[in-house]
Amino acid sequence: MASDVAAIDAERHLLSADDGLYVRTIATGSLSLLCPLEADKPGNRSNDGRVHQSGALWIGTMGRDAEPGRGAIYHVAGSRITRLYSGLTIPNGMAFSPDGTTGYFVDTAEGVLRRVALDPGTGLPKGEPETHYDHSDGEGGIDGAAVDADGLIWTARFGASCLDAYSPSGERVRTVPLPVRQPTCPTFVGSALDRLLVTTGYEGMDETARIADPDHGRTLLVDVAVRGLLEPSFRLDA
């Protein structure tokens, strides 16, 4: 059960799966285990992840049925894994400021987008997380995120049919409606990195809900007229 993919180089990907991190050879699709991830917790799986500018990966884990408190966020440098935060339910929204000095994440079940100061050379936290935006009383839940060249944090709002953009100072500055109820994660694409590719899900939707939301589970291309950032590659030698 894979949840996240990152480039290593022109020939290889890093794939985050339910039992570990794998190097995937693009030409053949073959997988080789780089390192296990929570091998002692077979009821867990990987979830959202992003590569920091240093080449290190932040990857979240959670219970397969979103059991409260079973999730965590890890920092992966090469094959070295460091647990950063635990006691989470649905870790999401991992993204980084353009200069790599700030990290963002959310526990979707809690609804509070957090920021933390980072060492730009390693992607490791330098302090304790702070509240960036409190969405705990709002419609839907903050899911995956991506940061544009101006530092805006673009997030998918699962269950609310939209994308939101938050400023580096913690204000929600833009909301873009979507034709699906459950968007899950954005990433910048296109030759100018000025469009967002947005994944969607249909988890928890019965047949009636799926009929009412015919684009459920599809990947959307959204014009947002902003300049995105190219995703960093994962460094095997970090």
Query: Which residue of the set 143, 148, 213, 237 is catalytic?
Result: 143
d(CA 168, CA 3): 27
What DSSP assignment string belongs to 48-110? Answer: EEEE-TTSPEEEEEEETT--TT-EEEEEEETTEEEEEEEEESSEEEEEE-TTSSEEEEEETTT
SS3 196: strand
| C-beta of residue 190 within 8 angstroms of C-beta of residue 110 | no
Active site residue 237: no
Pairing of strands 71-77, 57-63: antiparallel
Location of structure tokens 């290593």: 8
Q: Which amino acid is at 58?
A: W
Return the HEC string of 24-53. EECCCCCEEEEEECCCCCCCEEEEEEEECC
| Catalytic machinery residues | 143
